[in-house]
Amino acid sequence: MRDAIDLLGDTLSPGNNLTIVGDDAAAPIVRADRTSLTQILTNLLTNAAEALPSGAQINVAVYTVSISHSMAKSLSLSVGLYCRLTVEDNGTGIPAAEISKIFDPFFTTKPQGKGTGLGLSVVAGLAQSWGGTATVDSTEGMGTCFTIYLPVAEKHLQAAQ
Ligand SMILES: Nc1ncnc2c1ncn2[C@@H]1O[C@H](COP(=O)(O)OP(=O)(O)O)[C@@H](O)[C@H]1O
Ligand SMILES: [Mg+2]
């Protein structure tokens, strides 16, 4: 997961700052393949870069988190260990009226020829296909934070015990 992010730092337009933090020690190993991870990250980072005035900031964080009963319920996940990826920007933000449509296929606010509206539906679809989920939190004019939860692989759990 971590090296997939490092590789993608280069895809951002110049002038944007990208920071990456995470719990290297626990280096979460997720039940997902590299192509899916790359696709998730590319879509989120591209969106963030497109929503930013130049010189703005994108923060990426990867942590291992334990999802409790109450959280699992609200996220429609099973209880357990997850890799939580957050991609946060201080760009345009998303208007409250649009937030519920943001993961819909073909929902785009970008001009014809620029946006397909498929990026986030692919992100959500991939996360769900690996037993995880995608959520968004945004304030118009302040910024946006996408959170992806992916279950930590069974093999890795056994190794840690
Ligand atoms: N980081 C972000 N900041 C502000 N708006 C965003 C962000 N990410 C996505 N959006 C909004 O969600 C819409 C859908 O995103 P996406 O599915 O990737 O399609 P596309 O990028 O092709 O428009 C975008 O058109 C934009 O309005
Ligand atoms: Mg996009």
Structural domain including 150 reads 2-160
From the CB of 45, is ligand 1 less than 6 Å away?
A: no
Q: Which residues pair with 85 in a beta bridge?
A: 62, 148
**What confidence score (pLDDT) does residue 53 get?**
79
Residue closest via CA to ligand 1's atom 24 equals 108
Q: How many CB atoms lie within 10 A of CB 25?
A: 6
- What's the domain count of the chain? 1
Sheet of strand 143-151: strand arrangement? 17-22, 57-67, 80-89, 143-151, 133-139
Distance between CA atoms of residues 75 and 29, nearest Å: 21
Report CA(108)–ligand 1 centroid distance (Å).
Answer: 6
pLDDT in tens, 110-132: 999 899 999 999 999 999 999 99
The whole model's pTM is what?
0.89
pLDDT in tens, 82-108: 999 999 999 999 999 999 999 999 999
CATH of residue 65's domain is 3.30.565.10
Q: Does the structure show a pLDDT above 70 at 8?
A: no
